[in-house]
Amino acid sequence: MAVKNAMTSDFLHSAYGGESMAHMRYLYWAQVANKEGFPNIAKLFKAIAYAEQVHANNHFREIAGNTADATVTAGAVFGDGKTVDNLQGAINGELHEVEQMYPVYLNAAKFQGESGAERSFYYALEAEKIHADLFAQAQKAAKDGKDFDFTSVYICPICGHTVLDEAPDKCPVCGAKKEKYKEF
């Protein structure tokens, strides 16, 4: 169902822009982490880049042909730093989404009765909480000169739910089955 209200439409466009940039930024920072000898941190960036793509696609679908002059909310650093600094940029961006952006967007969508946008914002908000935490753990390791210790990252392709080492039987956010999860 396409969005009807201008304010929620603006927020979908802004969130689409922010997620798209996060996707690209994380792919780039994955390359940097690989070069610095952190293959697992690189893998985490790649996996979470995919989760941000899932969010962008969800928002894009809700926009459904509606055009708007929207500013883009992207509370993150840009450019090429060391992995420890890039992880700080990632943490800041995720926390901006968790504390500022998505709670406001989610409540606006609720207030305007935009159920599709509400679902899309809710999915993103739940995943970004996990992303902030995982990037913080990765940064702790990197500060000690170590890689982040895990075997695989699993991403739900419906909502972007992110989990280390084993996918749950059912996604706790959207209910998708274990077999749907994409492994990195």
Q: Shortest distance, CB of residue 158 to Fe ion, whole angstroms?
A: 5
Among the listed residues 3, 15, 125, 156, the single contact to Fe ion using CB under 5 A:
156
Which residues does 66 contact at the CB level (< 8 Å), separation at least 6?
A: 2, 3, 9
> Is the distance from CB of 71 to CB of 9 less than 8 angstroms?
no
Instruction: Say which residue the tokens 């940029």 belong to.
Output: 89
> Which stretches of the chain are DSSP H helices?
6-35, 39-63, 83-96, 102-111, 115-143
Among the listed residues 12, 95, 101, 173, the single contact to Fe ion using CB under 5 A:
173
Q: Kindly state whether residue 21 participates in binding Fe ion, applying the rule CB under 5 A.
A: no
Give the span between the Cα atoms of 148 and 135, in whole angstroms.
10
Closer Cβ to Fe ion, 59 or 114, answer by number:
59
Tokens of 104: 């406001």
Q: Kindly state whether residue 25 participates in binding Fe ion, applying the rule CB under 5 A.
A: no
Interacting positions 82-141 with Fe ion (CB under 5 A): 94, 124, 128, 131
Q: Kindly state whether residue 55 participates in binding Fe ion, applying the rule CB under 5 A.
A: yes
Closer Cβ to Fe ion, 33 or 173, answer by number:
173
Instruction: Say which residue the tokens 């960036």 belong to.
Output: 45
> Is the distance from CB of 9 to CB of 95 less than 8 angstroms?
no
Length of the chain: 184
Q: Kindly state whether residue 161 participates in binding Fe ion, applying the rule CB under 5 A.
A: yes
Among the listed residues 10, 52, 114, 147, the single contact to Fe ion using CB under 5 A:
52
Closer Cβ to Fe ion, 15 or 32, answer by number:
15
CA 155, 159, 161, 166 torsion: positive or negative?
Answer: negative
Q: Shortest distance, CB of residue 39 to Fe ion, whole angstroms?
A: 21
Q: Kindly state whether residue 171 participates in binding Fe ion, applying the rule CB under 5 A.
A: yes
Binding site for Fe ion (CB under 5 A): 19, 52, 55, 94, 124, 128, 131, 156, 158-159, 161, 171, 173-174, 176
